[in-house]
């Protein structure tokens, strides 16, 4: 009851000694502390990938089982994670909750806003290891990397192929796709 009452009073007695963030319940502080320690106590028994939160492990296991328990009521598309469905629903509703404070442009996904902000800041965080040229978007860097390949030097054109698993491969032709992505 006391923990619930803190919702109304705003009391947050459990404080992180690392950053000062406060919490209403000790378990929330304990979960938060994993950010600072880097500890990932929840390990997938199928592939060994580790996670900071148990819920992330549960969602990850859907990638192994192929289970997609979250379905869109509008179109029937299914998702392995609830967050995927939430993002997808915005396509139907037109909701754009992420708004640029500089210009007011709104976005359906937080990563789109993050990328957009680079137009204002000039930030270019993706740097080519070969020549040092920098880019605002990782996809631009990937396209650029083609210029450093032997195929590009031979005058071949690049093509981008999107595989059914959602990964993108930059290749010269479908014959260069490795067996894993055919």
pLDDT in tens, 71-95: 999 999 999 888 899 999 999 999 9
> Is residue 83 domain-shared with residue 52, that is, in the same domain?
yes
Instruction: Specify the pLDDT at position 30.
Output: 86
Instruction: Specify the pLDDT at position 172.
Output: 44
Residue 152 lies in a domain: yes
pTM of structure: 0.53
Tell which residue, 90, 44, 97, has the closest CA to residue 79. 90
Instruction: Please count the structural domains in the chain.
Output: 3
Residue 155 lies in a domain: yes
- Better-predicted residue by pLDDT, 171 or 66: 66
Residue 10 lies in a domain: yes
> Is residue 173 domain-shared with residue 133, that is, in the same domain?
yes
SS3 98: strand
> Is residue 141 domain-shared with residue 161, that is, in the same domain?
yes
- Note down the domain range covering 21: 2-39
Q: What is the DSSP code string of 43-75?
A: E-TTT--EESSHHHHHHHHHHHH----EE-TTT
> Is residue 35 domain-shared with residue 52, that is, in the same domain?
no
Residue 88 lies in a domain: yes
* CATH classification of the domain holding 8: 3.30.160.60
Residue 113 lies in a domain: no
Residue 121 lies in a domain: no
**pLDDT tops 90 at residue 165:** no
Interval 4-24: pLDDT, tens: 777 777 888 889 898 888 888
């Amino acid at each position: 009851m006391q923990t619930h009452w803190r919702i109304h009073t705003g009391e947050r007695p459990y404080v992180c000694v690392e950053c000062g963030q406060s919490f209403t319940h000790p378990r929330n502080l304990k979960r938060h502390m994993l950010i600072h320690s880097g500890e990932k106590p929840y390990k997938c028994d199928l592939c060994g990938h580790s996670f900071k939160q148990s819920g992330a492990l549960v969602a990850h296991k859907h990638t192994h089982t192929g289970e997609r328990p979250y379905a869109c009521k509008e179109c029937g598309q299914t998702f392995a994670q609830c967050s995927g469905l939430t993002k997808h629903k915005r396509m139907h509703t037109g909701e754009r909750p992420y708004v640029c404070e500089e210009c007011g442009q709104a976005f359906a996904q937080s990563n789109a806003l993050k990328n957009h902000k680079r137009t204002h800041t000039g930030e270019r965080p993706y740097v080519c290891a070969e020549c040092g040229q920098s880019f605002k978007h990782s996809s631009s860097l990937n396209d650029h990397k083609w210029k450093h390949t032997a195929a590009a030097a031979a005058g071949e054109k690049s093509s981008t192929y999107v595989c059914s698993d959602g990964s993108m491969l930059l290749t010269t032709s479908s014959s260069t796709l490795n067996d894993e992505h055919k």
